[in-house]
A and B are shown apart, each in its own frame.
Chain A
Amino acid sequence: MGVTVLQQFPIVENRTGPLTIDLLTKRISALGATQQGQFLVDCETFTSIQQLGHQRTVHVLHNSEQPATVFSILETGTKTIPLATDGLFDLLMTKMNNFYTAKKQTKVESKGPRFEIGDFLVKLGSVTITQNFKGVLVEVEYKPCVVPAMCWELMREFLQGFLGSSVPNTPPAYLQNRMQEIYTPIDTIHQYLEQFTMYRKSPGMRT
């Protein structure tokens, strides 16, 4: 597991989602990448019932890169607690549905092709909220390095070389506080949740 950066790729007017993915696929293939299957990250959100006191939210996420793991992030308003468990956590959530109920119309997922190029892993995801297309998320992982501060410049060069000037010069907000820490899969999950939350808030397509 290496450092991963998640970037939103702007949708240009009158270019559809599949067309954008197509364009990026062409670009990355021209750089010498080979496609290695598909990927999927999804997120479902549950909120506590009134009787449990102040409202809490549990986000349950799956990442096909760690297929045997379920990631959950609990937001209490003051605290954010991550949890990684086996796949059976989904079953436990169904037992819990008297206490925590799934929000309607909030299932978000990002899925698409997955590429390998050198030591980089590139994933081009189309984001949908309950089947409605919302935008494109590009995930880039540099596998050999585990500390964001060490390889951010290198990754920025890669991202800008492939996505163009839409890539900011500063790391994603979530990573900025954790530049010196060892990167773990839950950090990727946090970045996805950050992006998904923004998609949920913005009506229509995010450009």
Chain B
Amino acid sequence: MAVIGSATDTLNTALKSNIVPDQEYLLQGSVLDQYVEVLLHRLRGLCDNVDSGPESFHDHELCFTLRATSGPGSAMVLPLRVRRALDVPEAPWQLRYVGQHELGDKNRPTVVRSSIDMACSSTIVEFLTELGCRMDFEYISRGYMFRKGRMKITVSKVFKMGGLTNKPGESVEPISQSYLVELSVLAPSGQDAIAEDMRVFAEQLKPLVHLEKIDYKRLAHLQ
């Protein structure tokens, strides 16, 4: 009879054989409200889930950070995100760690960032708060999800949370006059071939939307 190994052993083996999907390949772009229908139409033609139509979602995302200063001038920061589906209340919540963006050199077609993604119970917000995390911001994201092989394409509108956080769906206002378009794949590290597929797919969406490697540091500089 097989002796059961501990969960940590199993995880280590999985990590060694490189099957844990902990890297996210990402391209982002945006499209103005009045052209979003055209883009959705285009995506419906290009993507896999043709028959069932696009899958809609309506999520609430809360962004936390765990911070501590380990010494003079050196702060440790651990960002954590919690997402929950407002339209499917019985679905599990989602906890996510997203690491630093790696833009890489010009030849690399997508942004790569480490990502740990897991389902969790609804006690997560209290858990994180008591753990010492601070909520930085939250928003509501509503839109459509498409699939093409391993790629995930989301077209979503981002809303500010109103004053009443406990009453989602009410008093929300859109952040901008456009939709956020994201093309992403979650894969084990080292599978750079997928990035090439993504570049090709992004090419097909031009000129409706330009999916690019967004450099967040530059955005911060603009503000």
Q: How far is the CA of A74 from the CA of B121 in the complex (A)?
A: 14
Which chain B residues lie closer than 8 Å to A38 at the CB level?
1-4
Within 8 A of A (CB), among B31-79: 66, 68-70, 76, 78
Chain B residue at minimal CB-CB distance from A48: B132
How many contacting A-B pairs (Cβ < 8 A)? Answer: 103
- Determine if A109 and B123 form an interchain contact, defined as CB atoms under 8 angstroms apart: no
Q: Is the interface of B mostly helix, strand, loop or mixed?
A: mixed
Contact A74 B68 (CB under 8 A): no
- A40-B6, A88-B118 known; A52 vs B97 contact (CB < 8 Å): no
The interface residues of chain A lying within 8 Å CB-to-CB of B78 are 95-96, 98-99
Q: Does B95 make an interface contact (CB < 8 A)?
A: yes
Binary flags per residue of A48-63, CB closer than 8 Å to B gives 1, else 0: 1101110010100010
Q: Is A85 a contact partner of B120 (Cβ separation < 8 A)?
A: yes
B123 near A81 with CB under 8 A, answer: yes
Q: Which residues of A are found within 8 Å of B132, using beta-carbon distances?
A: 48, 52-53, 56, 99
Question: Residue on A with the closest CB to B126?
Answer: A81
Which residues of the other chain, A, contact B126 by a CB distance below 8 angstroms?
81
Structural contact, B120 and A51, CB atoms closer than 8 A: no
> How long is the Cα–Cα vector from A44 to B7 in the complex, in angstroms?
11
A70 near B7 (CB under 8 angstroms)? yes
27 contacts between A and B (CB under 8 A): A38-B2, A40-B4, A40-B5, A40-B6, A42-B6, A44-B8, A49-B68, A51-B69, A51-B70, A56-B130, A62-B8, A64-B4, A72-B127, A83-B124, A83-B127, A86-B118, A87-B10, A87-B118, A88-B117, A88-B118, A89-B95, A91-B22, A92-B118, A95-B78, A96-B78, A99-B68, A99-B78
A-B pairs, top 4 by smallest CB distance, nearest first, are A86-B118, A62-B7, A51-B68, A85-B120
Give me the interface of B with A, judged by CB distance under 8 Å. 1-8, 10-11, 15, 20, 22, 66, 68-70, 76, 78, 95, 97, 116-121, 123-124, 126-127, 130-132
